[in-house]
Amino acid sequence: MTDLYAQLGQALGPSGWWPADSKYEILVGAVLVQNTNWANVDRSLANLRETTGFAPDQLAALTQADWVPLIRPSGFYQNKSRALVGLFAWLAHWDFDLAFIGGFPPATLRAQLLALRGIGQETADAARLFVFDQPTFVADAYARRLFGFLGRPYATYQALAKVTQAVAGWSLHDAQEFHGLIDNFGKTVKTPADFAASPLAGGRLTPLRAPLA
């Protein structure tokens, strides 16, 4: 995978990921982007920026009824508002100390995030990577599509996550950059024809195996 990382970096340059001014904005965005596009999320984030400045205590003080009109542009606003209320109640329990939370063992933090309503594997891993500073691989749809183009298809999030655990040993910068490069690549390379015209055309990954339990 280090070769793939190097090839993407050479082809695309720095990823510039994640687009946000604070970790709390990243965290909210990771919830809101589920089942929608970033243009819609941007509208919701602008509403929240204007009303709360992404101050964590102000976000935690919002009721579900407060969240709904602010995040309505992102769709699924009832479910997402419930998720955000629960998420910020959990953060408040830890006094919004992101560094302290990031010091939890990775498996423990992941389990705590997944126990929260509306937080799935992709959102939990993105939060660990970009908010809590734990290197990990986010096996999102862009990543699964790229690995498929490279001859290693993985049908589910968990299937790809199992064979990319080595990224947890990378530096935080490299793990974040790898995710950003994969997503930037995936935004424009969507079909086999796109891939055939891309800088990675003809590339193949060696078999990836999950670590022994």
Burial 157-193 (b: 16+ CB within 10 A, else e): beebbebbeebeebeeeebbbbbbbbbbbbeebeeee
Nearest CA among 118, 88, 120 for reference residue 23: 88
Residues of the chain with pLDDT under 70: 19, 207-213
Q: What is the pLDDT of residue 14?
A: 87
Nearest CA among 1, 79, 91, 77 for reference residue 41: 77
Q: What is the pLDDT of residue 95?
A: 98
Q: What is the pLDDT of residue 213?
A: 45
Q: What is the pLDDT of residue 207?
A: 64
CA distance 121 to 209: 20
What are 163's two structure tokens? 């064979």
133: left (phi over 0), alpha (psi -120 to 50) or beta: left
Q: What is the pLDDT of residue 212?
A: 43
On whether the pTM is more than 0.85, the answer is yes
Q: What is the pLDDT of residue 53?
A: 96
